[in-house]
């Protein structure tokens, strides 16, 4: 395991705790916003890069600014509209917390790829690289959520 794997575990645990405390509605808003931030950062960071502003810094800047906007919007909605999804609120919030943690971990892997290259030891020896950076875990989560209620 590399330091990126430990960052992945820490981010998932952190966001599960945060989202359970905030509730299911905020977790859903955060998940959608963070997913959008991830996708927007992936396609737009190159325009910000320059000789004095690296690709890694541009990627992280775009993602973190959009993530901050998402969190502010979610926070404002939480204070204006108190809601509860009932018995399953904490469970739903935890599931979306895992998803948000995976998105942040994906960004950490993306920054590692831009900074060190895909064949660097930190990337090549990573236990979670296939699940997080190549999005196997996120695709599995989305498949799980789409099948919810069919059983």
Residue 131 has pLDDT above 80, yes or no: no
Of 21-25, 58-62, 98-102, the poorest mean pLDDT is in 21-25
Q: Position of tokens 């790829």? A: 113
**Which residues are bridge partners to 53 per DSSP?**
50
Q: With bands split at pLDDT 50, 70 and 90, how would you rate the model's confidence at 151?
A: low
DSSP output for the chain: --HHHHHHHHHHHHHHHHHHHH-HHHHHHHHHHHHHHHHHHHHHGGGT-BTTB-HHHHHHHHHHHHHHHHHHHHHHHHHH-----GGGHHHHHHHHHHHHHHHHHHHHHHHHHHHH-TTSHHHHT-SSIIIIIT-HHHHHHHHHHHTTT--
pLDDT at 69: 96
User: How do the domains of the chain map onto residue ranges?
Assistant: 3-146
Cα Rg for the chain, rounded, in angstroms? 16
Q: Please write the tens of the pLDDT for every residue from 132-149.
A: 877 776 677 778 878 876
Pair of tokens at residue 11 = 């981010």
Let me know: does 26 contact 78? Beta carbons within 8 Å: yes
In the predicted model, what is the mean pLDDT of residues 68-83?
Answer: 87
Give residue-wise pLDDT tens across range 76-110.
988 887 777 677 888 999 999 999 999 999 999 98
pLDDT band at 29 (very low <50, low <70, confident <90, very high): very high
């Amino acid at each position: 395991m590399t330091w990126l794997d430990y960052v992945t575990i820490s981010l998932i645990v952190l966001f599960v705790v945060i989202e359970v405390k905030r509730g299911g509605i905020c977790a859903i808003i955060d998940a959608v916003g963070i997913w959008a931030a991830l996708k927007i950062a992936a396609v737009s960071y190159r325009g910000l890069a320059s000789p004095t502003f690296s690709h890694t810094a541009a990627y992280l800047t775009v993602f973190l600014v959009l993530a901050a906007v998402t969190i502010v919007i979610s926070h404002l909605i939480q204070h204006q509209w108190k809601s509860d999804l009932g018995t399953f609120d904490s469970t739903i919030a935890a599931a979306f917390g895992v998803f948000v943690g995976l998105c942040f971990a994906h960004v950490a892997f993306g920054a590692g790829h831009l900074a060190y290259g895909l064949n660097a030891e930190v990337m090549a020896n990573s236990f979670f690289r296939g699940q997080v950076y190549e999005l196997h875990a996120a695709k599995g989560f989305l498949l799980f959520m789409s099948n919810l209620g069919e059983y």
